[in-house]
Amino acid sequence: MLKYRTVPRKNPQTKEVKFYAQLEHVTPMTLDALAKDISDSCTLTLHDVKAVISALEEHISKALRYGKSVRLRDLGSFYPTLSSDGVENEKDFKSTLIKSVNVVFRKSAKMMYGFNVENPEIKFMRVGDEDESTTNG
């Protein structure tokens, strides 16, 4: 269930105020909780699952630092991007102009459908309306 609240936002040009949905802050699922759920659904022990997840985190970070993207089948892909200051002449560009390295996650087609509002498994609930839930808003 995705919990949301409505928030007013003013159009800076027209000054008109409209209300929009904003996702409530979510509680992160810890590595321990995720590992326990996975362990409960297969034959691996909790410690085996934790070791695999820990190694996965380490190897994804390493691959991204080496400029590779990482595709995790039906989950999606991680890839590195750069942000830099610009120069007018290409020959004047130096790596010191690079301001940050970011990691972007792009959902797979299966994940896109999983989080499409047309998916009947997606349910929304406005905070404060705990007894009212809908599938499409």
In a domain, 75, yes or no: yes
AA letter at 15: K
77-120 confidence digits (pLDDT tens): 999 999 999 999 999 999 999 999 999 999 999 999 999 999 99
Q: Is residue 135 part of a domain?
A: no
- Report d(CA 39, CA 52) in Å as an integer: 11
User: Into how many domains does the chain fold?
Assistant: 1
Residue % of the chain over a pLDDT of 90: 83
Residue 92, classed as helix, strand or coil, is helix
> What does the alpha-carbon distance between residue 92 and residue 84 come to, in Å, rounded to a whole number?
13
Please report which confidence band the pLDDT of residue 131 belongs to, taking 50, 70 and 90 as the band edges: low
Q: What CATH number is given to the structural domain containing 109?
A: 4.10.520.10
The answer to whether residue 58 is domain-embedded is yes
Domain span at 65? 2-126
Asked if residue 137 belongs to a domain, the reply is no
Digit-coded pLDDT (tens) for 60-89 = 999 999 999 999 999 999 999 999 999 999
Run of H or E residues at 35 = helix 31-40
